Amino acid sequence: MKLASLASCAANFVFVLTLLAVASGASSNEEKVTQFFEGSETHTNNWAVLVCTSRFWFNYRHMANALSMYRTVKRMGIPDSHIILMLADDMACNPRNAFPAAVYDHPRKTIDLYGDNVEVDYRGYEVTVENFIRLLTGRVAADTPRNKRLLTDDKSNVFIYMTGHGGEDFLKFQDSEEINSYDIADAFKQMWEKQRYREILFMIDTCQANTMYSKFDSPNILSIGSSKKGQNSLSHFHDYDLGVSVIDRFTYYNLEFFESVDSSSKQTMADLIAAYNTSLIQSDPGVRTDLFARDLAKTYLMDFFGAVQNVKLTTEAFPIGKSK
């Protein structure tokens, strides 16, 4: 059963097929395979859900936030098939954009976030509270294409990043509806019940962001918010060519930290959190660890921001095919 669910993990697909062939052979091999996956302490696949909930030209920075995060997790190895990118509006093609087809998160404009190979899974008015919750809980319509499904299992580490306009216990979607902290807590609970994750890193950049994770009550969730209750989450650079602010402070300083991180990095979550400078971010980022079982100093960034290639070196030869 659990082996079958592994088929969803495209990265390990071929490997799994081989193992399945082996596992059908002998019971001792089956045990070994089971041990390989279930006995393992670590997760076997990584997913990222990146959500920008705001539309309109003057919210350019929220699109840039999500796209910057997208670029980062992709650089660190999570493939597009494992990234669900939700963008409530299209800034690259907005006629007001003085740099058509490009989105920048810095007035220097060295990195075009929209340059090439961007796969937006939910766009425009598809970004709704309903679609977001359906995505998380897996209750999507049967004809939903694969790129719009979160095909996680109990071995998945999921990074969920949200940005937009929010307030105490809510985040505005589009210009018409909002998701509240209870909705997200409930969705995570369902995910846990359905064994849809192993660990979640929930990161949110919005005003009063820390209230958004206050209602979580499912295990193995690490939450990071940009600002405490009553605080605004502020924008960073203003671009006078575009006429808009291009990124938010909290996201910007996260990204700045990630610039020194690559997929082989052994940096931990504790390092990231220690790097938060409230005088630069101009708000008080919050971290909620009580639901998270592991020590942050032993939790690698790559557990969430990178993709695992679950390779296990064995000291003895692994028997393949008919044993003697």
Partner 1 sequence: MALVLSGQGEKASPILKLGRKYSAYLAYPLLLASIVWLLLLPFQTFTRNGYFSENAMMPNQVYTVFGTEEHMSAMNHIDAELALQSTAKDEGERQAGAVYRAFNSLGLDSEIQRFAYSEVPGVGSTSGINVHGVLRAGRSDSVEALLIAASWTTSSNRTNINAVRLMAGLAKYASEQVYWAKDIIFLVTDGGEHGIETWLKSYHGGGGLYVRSGIIQAAVCLELPPAQSYAGMGLFFEGKSGQLPNLDLVNIVQYISRVERIPAYLHGMVDAPRSSTWLEKYKRSAQLLLRQVSSLAIGKSVGVHAPFLRYRIDALTLSGIVRPTDPVSLEYLSTGVAPVMPAPFTVRAIGRTVESTLRSLNNLLEHFHQSFFFYILPANERYISIGDYIPAAGLMVASLLFQAMHLWWMQGSDDMRSDNPATRIERINAYYAFLRRTLPNTIGIIARVHLLGVILLVTPIAVPYAVLTNTTSTAYVFTMALASVSMVLHISDTYWMESVQRMVDWKQLKAVVELYVAVVVGCLSVMNFSLAVALFGVTGLPLVLTRVWTSATKMRRIANVCMLLLASPVCTLVLSRAALGLSPLDFTSSPFRMFLGDFYHFGSLAYPLVCLVYWPVNLLCMIVALMP
Which of 308, 246, 250 is closest to 15 using CA atoms? 308
Q: Does 125 bind partner 1 (CB under 8 A)?
A: no
**In the complex, least distance from residue 241 CB atom to partner 1, rounded to whole angstroms:** 6
Q: Between residues 94 and 220, which has the closer beta carbon with respect to partner 1?
A: 94
Q: Between residues 242 and 272, which has the closer beta carbon with respect to partner 1?
A: 242
Active site residue 207: yes
Active site residue 165: yes
**In the complex, least distance from residue 186 CB atom to partner 1, rounded to whole angstroms:** 31
Give the residue, chosen from 58, 125, 182, 318, that forms a contact with partner 1 under the rule CB under 8 A.
58
Give the residue, chosen from 193, 217, 241, 295, that forms a contact with partner 1 under the rule CB under 8 A.
241
Q: How far apart are CA 312 and CA 258, in angstroms?
A: 27
CB proximity list for 313: less than 8 A, separation 6 or greater: none
Q: How far apart are CA 227 and CA 225, in angstroms?
A: 6
Phi-psi region of 45 (alpha: psi -120 to 50; beta: other; left: phi over 0): beta
Total residues interacting with partner 1, rule: CB under 8 A: 16
Q: Does 100 bind partner 1 (CB under 8 A)?
A: yes
Given the residues 43, 62, 82, 207, select the one marked as catalytic.
207
Applying the rule CB under 8 A, the residues between 146 and 175 that interact with partner 1 are: none
Q: CA torsion, points 118, 123, 127, 130, in degrees to nearest 10?
A: -100
**In the complex, least distance from residue 71 CB atom to partner 1, rounded to whole angstroms:** 24
**Alpha-carbon distances of 249 from 51, 207, 222, 223, 320, rounded to whole Å:** 17, 12, 21, 18, 53
Q: How far apart are CA 126 and CA 148, in angstroms?
A: 11
Give the residue, chosen from 244, 246, 269, 302, that forms a contact with partner 1 under the rule CB under 8 A.
244
Q: One symbol per residue from 79 to 98: x for binding partner 1 (CB under 8 A), - otherwise; what is it? A: --------------xxxxxx
Q: Does 57 bind partner 1 (CB under 8 A)?
A: yes
Give the residue, chosen from 13, 56, 182, 318, that forms a contact with partner 1 under the rule CB under 8 A.
56
Token pair recorded at residue 32 = 């070994």
Give the residue, chosen from 1, 116, 240, 316, that forms a contact with partner 1 under the rule CB under 8 A.
240
The packing angle between helices 13-23 and 27-38, to 10°, is: 150
Q: Between residues 2 and 96, which has the closer beta carbon with respect to partner 1?
A: 96
Phi-psi region of 49 (alpha: psi -120 to 50; beta: other; left: phi over 0): beta
Q: Between residues 94 and 147, which has the closer beta carbon with respect to partner 1?
A: 94
Per-residue H/E/C for 115-173: CCCCCCCEEHHHCCHHHHHHHHHCCCCCCCCHHHCCCCCCCEEEEEEEECCEECCEEEE
Q: Between residues 176 and 309, which has the closer beta carbon with respect to partner 1?
A: 176
Q: How far apart are CA 44 and CA 39, in angstroms?
A: 12
Which of 136, 131, 45, 50 is closest to 86 using CA atoms? 50
Stretch that binds partner 1, among 42-50, 55-63, 217-225, 278-286 (CB under 8 A): 55-63
**In the complex, least distance from residue 238 CB atom to partner 1, rounded to whole angstroms:** 6
Q: Between residues 106 and 228, which has the closer beta carbon with respect to partner 1?
A: 106
Given the residues 43, 165, 236, 238, select the one marked as catalytic.
165
Question: Cα angle at 97 between 92 and 101, to 5 degrees?
Answer: 30
Binding site for partner 1 (CB under 8 A): 56-58, 93-98, 100, 238, 240-244
- Point out the residues that are catalytic: 165, 207
